[in-house]
Amino acid sequence: MVYIIDYGAGNISSIKNMLKKIGADSIITSIPAEIAEAKKIILPGVGSFDTGMKLLKDRGWIEMLNYKVLKDKISVLGVCLGVQLMCKQSEEGQLKGLGWIDADVIRFKPEKATEPIRVPHMGWNSVKQLRDVALLKLHEEHRFYFVHAFHLDNVPEENKWLQTHYGYNFISGIQKENIYGVQFHPEKSHKYGMELYKNFAALK
């Protein structure tokens, strides 16, 4: 069973539909106590960093999430804003993130791009796997759907998983022990997203 965290800022119905397509059981929950026995959770998210962190705090999620992820070491997948909330902080706001990953979140810098870019980054883009992680087997080009104006920065080398080029290279996927995160939307990425969610659901 995969628990999808509903804290008021996620694309949760699309994720549940994708999990259903691949035959994975899932439940959407807005009650922190309901994940007490969970083995896998997805932390989705759309919108701004501070809004996401405020909603997690106001709805009582932070203590339970920290316990399950950092103490119980259950598998967690952060999606879009969800992976950004796993970091220390963001240029987008003033609140501190969950701090599970020792990284920051910054806005795209068009002045650093080697070609003109528009912000936000929207549409399909390919990913390069920097190291082997169980969620993807890149035997062919993998393309995913992105919608974001901010991306991860200062990611520790050992936590870098996926890289994408949009004006310049940025980290689009991270992994640290039981913690996984992707900047793109697997639930909008057809067969490639199905593969990623299927592998996540199959984690032991």
């199959």: which residue's tokens?
202
Give the tokens for residue 56: 């997690």
The tens digit of pLDDT for each residue in 132-187 reads 998 987 666 789 999 999 999 999 999 999 999 999 999 999 999 999 999 999 99
Angle at which helix 190-201 crosses helix 12-21, to 10 degrees, equals 80
* pLDDT in the model for residue 164: 97
- For residue 90, the model assigns a pLDDT of 98
Quote the pLDDT of residue 139. Answer: 61
**Triad 180, 101, 89: Cα angle to 5°:** 125
Distance CA 31, CA 59 (A): 8
Catalytic residue among 142, 185, 190, 195: 185
Which domains, ranges and CATH numbers included, belong to the chain? 2-201 (3.40.50.880)
Q: Looking at 80, 121, 148, 151, which residue is catalytic?
A: 80
Asked if 185 is an active-site residue, the reply is: yes
Q: Which of the following is catalytic: 111, 142, 187, 195?
A: 187
Low-confidence ranges of the chain (pLDDT < 70): 138-140
